[in-house]
Structure 1
Amino acid sequence: MRNWWKLMVILTPLALGGCYRPEYPSKFISSDLKEFESYQKKCASRPSPPARAITSLGDTDVFITYSQPAVKGRTIWGDLVPFDRIWRTGANEATVLSATGDILVNGDTLLAGNYALYTIPGQDKWTVILNTKYEVWGAYDYDQSLDVLRFDVEPSTNNDLSERMQFTIDDTGVIEFAWDKLKFDFLVMPL
């Protein structure tokens, strides 16, 4: 028993290591494309590398920054990503929707800024959530009281397998999510 403290010195860092969350990198959501590309290059070897979808709607830039998990032969919906539970809609850092000007999202006003984009996947409908607390890793620190928008979308079957999760934004403001054989979309417009 005299050396119990030595055992504690060895075991404490191991126990706390499981709770480790990396510091949130500001370059992840930087509107400076060169900063983001530098971060993207630095993290390219991650199993779920960072990616960005971007478009300009008039004078407003809209972009979604996220990390791209892969299917890798796994069952995604209802297994890896459980139904009816909050999901970061990606991997690593929370997925972030950013707008340099005020926009309409599915008909509701969203002020310029950065917002975590969470979802609650369901078998017949998904709830899309925009939340002001975006500088987080995953959905561990999700706080519903900070939601600014919530709306439902209907997922559909994608004819082609999307091995890596992806967002796209076309020049009309349609944001599409696709992963595995599932997709959904919603509309953003300048105010």
Structure 2
Amino acid sequence: MKKNIHLSVLLIVLLIVSCKQDVKKVVVEEKATETSAEPDKKKPLSPHTSTMAMIGDAHIHIDYSSPGVRNRIIFGGLLAYDQLWQAGAHMATWIETNKDLIIDGKMLPAGKYGFFTIPSKEEWTIIFNSNWDQHGKDEYEEKDDVLRFKVKPIISDEVTEHLEYQVNKINDNEGAISLSWEKVSIKFNFKVNQ
């Protein structure tokens, strides 16, 4: 009889302990389900961004999506040489100026422009196109180019992970626009037309 009581007590204790562990397991599983039910808040692969600066009275604004290198060969790989590129991801990159600019000895009238490039190993073609509101280069037409000129790329040992534009002031009348991505940078100066 005593054996049966001890055995019964032991079974009851084991049952209680087992139930408590099952309850804990259920609570943990419910919390895990609640957490995974939240929307995925991953950072976009090509975040939309912009840069701007005042050079004298000129307000220069660049709007673009900034793709990452993500262990890829970009120029001459992902982006073939000698092919038109919208100089960003998704929508075409655009540049807006409220003042006429002189770039490469040519006038760029105040306005908003699609910014395109044709990268190559030795030199890049820089293009300001009147059609600024387009997906990628889907609607690009050369006849809409307002300004074209060439620059030499600068090759670095360091990798710029995400495409980055900068507008830098040289003085009250001059500035520089640069693009850097992977191990390549390009840069060109401009003057505000007085």
Give the TM-score of the pair, scaled to structure 2: 0.74
For the residue of structure 2 that corresponds to 1:165, the secondary structure is: strand
Structure 1 portions without partners, runs of 5+: 1-43
1:182 alignment partner AA? V
Aligned residues: percent identity? Answer: 32
Match in the other structure for 2:192: 190
**Which residue of 69, 89, 92 maps to 1:91?**
89
**Which residue of 164, 167, 180 maps to 1:178?**
180
Match in the other structure for 1:147: 145
Moved beyond 2 Å, runs of 4+:
none
Match in the other structure for 1:109: 107
Match in the other structure for 2:9: none
> Does structure 2 conserve the Cα–Cα contact (< 8 Å) formed by 1:70 and 1:165?
yes
CA distance in 1, matches of 2:43, 2:130: 29
**Which residue of 54, 60, 63 maps to 2:61?**
63
Decide which structure has greater helix share. 2
Structure with max Cα Rg: 2
CA distance in 1, matches of 2:145, 2:176: 22
For the residue of structure 2 that corresponds to 1:117, the secondary structure is: strand
> Does structure 2 conserve the Cα–Cα contact (< 8 Å) formed by 1:53 and 1:63?
yes
Structure 2 portions without partners, runs of 5+: 1-41
Match in the other structure for 2:19: none
Give the TM-score of the pair, scaled to structure 1: 0.75
Say whether residues 1:166 and 2:168 are aligned partners: no
CA distance in 2, matches of 1:127, 1:147: 12
1:176 alignment partner AA? S
